[in-house]
Amino acid sequence: MTTTAAPAPTTEPTGERSTFAVRHLLAQIGRYTFLCAVLGFFALPLLWLATAPFDDTPTITASLPRFTLDNFRALLDNPYALSSLLNSVYLAAGTAALVVTFAALAAYALSRVRVPGRDALLYGLLLLSSIVTGTATMVPLFELAFRLNLIDSRLGVILILSGGLLPAAIFILKDFMDSTPTSYEESARVFGASPLQIMRHIVVPLVRPGLATVGVWAVANVWGNFLVPFLLLRGPDKAPAAVIMYTLYTEGGQADLRLLSTFSLLYSLPVALMFVFVSSRYGFRFHGGIKR
């Protein structure tokens, strides 16, 4: 922590000085107490997530568990639990692939071509994107999906989620594209590279940290999205984990804390692991090679 609460000076022990030291010490104690309280507030739910799945009678409080793996066994008996995680993977991977591909192409074009009113267009899209997958548009979206025969189809969910994520993804990636010097591309152009070759050989490797960021962000968004798959997918066989979690009740209609806590742990682990993996693999590094 800190040792700033220095002992009162011995040479000139005036009362004024020691009062100051005491006041300083109290201020420090107060500050750290406050910080600990805030930290505890955020840490306790995580602690619950870590202990409850291993407790044979979990409550909504975090406590030292009486260790058991029965909860995991019970979860395996649930016909939809594990397959729903796989469904989540399908939806997240499909959406992330679509979003990264199209956002990269669009951001590159928007970054390199001068279009009048480009920035207004970008900000407008960003504003509208929060509406596309928002609650307010669920009825028209359902209607649209119904007319297009995309009800109860994973493709429909992926398309709608991609539509919602694309504007922000373009916005993020355009920033990455803007910060790569155009002389790389011009150099490749003089050697005769086609636009798609430039994109593949030069631009994509250079903005890889940006692509990784957008990919992770898209996966995390889809992973946590409940409303869209809940409305568009009819049966539990295609439902992702976020929807299945909603069904984990006891016969009495009470939330089944044993299943719920165990499933929550399984549900959050993949995303956490993905963050660790991607940031260690693609972290925000830049190799240099342009002399500034």
Partner 1 sequence: MSAITMRELTKVYPGGVRALDALDLEIADGEFFALLGPSGCGKTTLLRTIAGLEVASGGSVRIGERDVTNLPPGKRDVAMVFQDYALFPHMTVRDNIAYPLRIKKVDRRSRGSKAADTADELGLSGLLERRPGQLSGGQQQRVALARAMACHPQVFLLDEPLSNLDARLRLEARTFLKRLQRELGVTTVFVTHDQAEALALADRIAVMEGGRIRQVGTPTEVFRRPANTFVAGFIGSTPMNLVDTRVQGDGLAVGPARLPLPNDAHGQVTDGERLVYGIRPEYLDYSPTPVASALTGEVVVVENLGSVSLVSLDVAADDTEAGDDTGAGRTSVQVVVAEGGEPEPGDTGWVVPRPGRSLLYRDGNLVTATAPAGVPAPRADAAARS
Please, what is the minimum distance in Å from the beta carbon of residue 195 to partner 1?
11
Does residue 255 sit in helix, strand or coil? Answer: strand
Which span sits near partner 1 by CB under 8 A: 12-20, 91-99, 195-203, 273-281? 195-203
- Spell out the residues 6+ positions from residue 84 whose beta carbon is closer than 8 angstroms to its own: 236, 239, 240, 241, 243, 244
Rule CB under 8 A: choose which of 202, 220, 245, 266 binds partner 1. Answer: 202
179 binds partner 1 per the rule CB under 8 A: no
Contact (CB, 8 A) for 209 and 284: yes
Nearest to 176 by CA among 262, 111, 220: 111
Rule CB under 8 A: choose which of 165, 166, 206, 265 binds partner 1. Answer: 206
282 binds partner 1 per the rule CB under 8 A: no
CA–CA distance, 92 with 134 (Å, rounded to integer): 18
Rule CB under 8 A: choose which of 30, 40, 45, 205 binds partner 1. Answer: 205
Torsion of CA 277, 99, 268, 248, to 10 degrees: -160
Name the residue nearer to partner 1 (CB basis): 7 or 192: 192
CA–CA distance, 33 with 39 (Å, rounded to integer): 10
Q: Do you know the residue count of the chain? A: 292
188 binds partner 1 per the rule CB under 8 A: yes
Nearest to 184 by CA among 200, 203, 211: 203
DSSP H stretches of helix in 179-256: 182-190, 195-198, 204-206, 208-224, 227-232, 241-244
Which span sits near partner 1 by CB under 8 A: 14-22, 49-57, 86-94, 200-208? 200-208
189 binds partner 1 per the rule CB under 8 A: yes
Name the residue nearer to partner 1 (CB basis): 235 or 289: 289
Name the residue nearer to partner 1 (CB basis): 209 or 224: 209
Please, what is the minimum distance in Å from the beta carbon of residue 202 to partner 1?
6
What pairs with residue 255 in β-bridges? 249
For residue 274, which amino acid is it? M
CA–CA distance, 1 with 29 (Å, rounded to integer): 11
Q: What SS3 string covers 20-38?
A: HHHHHHHHHHHHHHHHHHH
Which span sits near partner 1 by CB under 8 A: 16-24, 36-44, 176-184, 214-222? 176-184
201 binds partner 1 per the rule CB under 8 A: yes
Which span sits near partner 1 by CB under 8 A: 37-45, 84-92, 182-190, 230-238? 182-190
Please, what is the minimum distance in Å from the beta carbon of residue 205 to partner 1?
4
178 binds partner 1 per the rule CB under 8 A: no
Which span sits near partner 1 by CB under 8 A: 124-132, 162-170, 247-255, 284-292? 284-292
- Point out which residues bind partner 1 (CB under 8 A): 181, 183-184, 186-193, 197, 201-202, 205-206, 208, 286-292
